[in-house]
């Protein structure tokens, strides 16, 4: 890596060692016709993606000592479209679960959604208004394991019903875990449509009922973990509001944010405090 003053979001040597083999293998199969290896180091490209995710700056506002927005976006889009970003994320998730003595893929997941506002310029055709939460924008759906690690993510218009998000999440969970998931927990916003869809995939979907006597927000056993994951993601300012023109870019942002979180946990690297971000 070129000499410069490091940013708190930079990869440590140990973090880079976890993902470098995937990036190196990708680079080896994407050589230019002229044989030119590119002007920017791949580690610095990843650092720029993580910096933007953590700080929320626009592409043109990336610091001058990081690769420019045009180059960074080129790789962000390439890795979004060919699945490299998710591949990095999934590899780190498998490492995390193995470290905890679990199999690579879970048997139980927890589903939930979050509606967020969008930035000016986000196409209206990809947004809507969440009638229940009174939020105009997009709906982010997550399926997480018992450790809060992301198994699947979908991004839809906020006007999409919970059932739409739930069935889409279940489809991705089934496809991305080779059929290991047999149980899913959801809240009362999801209806029997999701239960029936899960049954068709071999997943028992349980709607966790809220205790009528509870006042205000009361964490529910096991289901609270997905709320914690949403809270962790909010430390990455690019996710506080949806700035992406493509829902696929929004999904990729979640994978990059969780890759940052997991690589730090795996290497015991200190995470930047929210008080300093």
Instruction: Note the pLDDT of residue 7.
Output: 96
243 — pLDDT class (breaks 50, 70, 90): very high
CB 259 within 8 A of CB 92: yes
DSSP 139: E
Instruction: Note the pLDDT of residue 132.
Output: 87
Residue 218, pLDDT above cutoff 80: no
Lowest mean pLDDT among 14-28, 30-44, 85-99, 245-259: 30-44
Average pLDDT, the chain: 91
Instruction: Note the pLDDT of residue 273.
Output: 59
Characterise 35 by phi-psi region: left (phi > 0), alpha (psi -120 to 50), beta (else).
Answer: left
Residue 277, pLDDT above cutoff 50: no
Q: How far is CA 43 from CA 128, 264, 268, in A?
A: 37, 16, 19
Report residue 217 as tokens. Answer: 């927000």
CA–CA dist 238, 261 (Å, integer): 15
Instruction: Note the pLDDT of residue 178.
Output: 85
Burial 43-55 (b: 16+ CB within 10 A, else e): bbbbbbbbbbbbb
3-state secondary structure 155-208: EEECCCCHHHHHHHHHHHHHHHCCCCCCEEEECCCCCHHHHHHHHHCCCEEEEC
Residue 27, pLDDT above cutoff 60: yes
Q: Average pLDDT of 73-102?
A: 97
Top-confidence residue, 1 or 52? 52
Top-confidence residue, 34 or 38? 38
Lowest mean pLDDT among 202-206, 214-218, 242-246: 214-218
Residue 38, pLDDT above cutoff 90: no
Residue 23, pLDDT above cutoff 90: yes
CA–CA dist 155, 252 (Å, integer): 10
Q: Average pLDDT of 195-206?
A: 97
Q: Which domains does the chain have, with CATH numbers?
A: 103-244 (3.30.420)
* Backbone φ and ψ of 221, nearest 5°: -50, 135
CB 141 within 8 A of CB 168: yes
Burial 57-87 (b: 16+ CB within 10 A, else e): beeeebeeebbbbebbbebbeebbeeebbbb
142 — pLDDT class (breaks 50, 70, 90): very high
Residue 141 three-state SS: strand
């Amino acid at each position: 890596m070129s000499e410069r003053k490091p940013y708190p979001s930079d990869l440590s040597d140990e973090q880079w060692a976890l993902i470098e083999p995937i990036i190196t293998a990708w680079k080896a199969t994407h050589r230019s016709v002229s044989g030119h290896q590119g002007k920017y180091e791949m580690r610095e490209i990843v650092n720029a993606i993580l910096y933007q995710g953590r700080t929320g700056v626009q592409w043109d506002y990336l610091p001058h000592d990081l690769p420019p927005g045009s180059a960074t976006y080129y790789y962000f889009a390439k890795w979004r479209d060919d699945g490299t970003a998710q591949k990095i994320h999934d590899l780190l998730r498998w490492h995390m679960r193995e470290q905890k003595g679990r199999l690579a893929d879970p048997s139980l997941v927890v589903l939930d959604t979050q509606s967020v506002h969008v930035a000016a310029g986000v196409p209206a055709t990809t947004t809507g208004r969440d009638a229940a939460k009174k939020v105009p924008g997009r709906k982010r759906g997550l399926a997480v394991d018992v450790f809060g690690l992301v198994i699947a993510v979908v991004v839809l218009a906020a006007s999409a019903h919970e059932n739409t998000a739930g069935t889409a999440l279940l489809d991705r969970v089934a496809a991305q875990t080779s059929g290991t998931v047999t149980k899913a927990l959801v809240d009362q916003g999801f209806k029997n449509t999701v239960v029936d869809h899960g049954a068709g995939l071999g997943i028992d979907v349980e709607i966790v009922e809220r205790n009528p006597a509870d006042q205000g927000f009361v964490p529910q056993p096991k289901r609270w973990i997905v709320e914690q994951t949403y809270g962790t993601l909010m430390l990455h300012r690019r996710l506080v509001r949806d700035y992406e023109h493509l829902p696929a870019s929004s999904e990729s942002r979640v994978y990059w944010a969780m890759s940052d979180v997991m690589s730090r946990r795996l290497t015991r690297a200190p995470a930047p405090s929210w008080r300093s971000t």
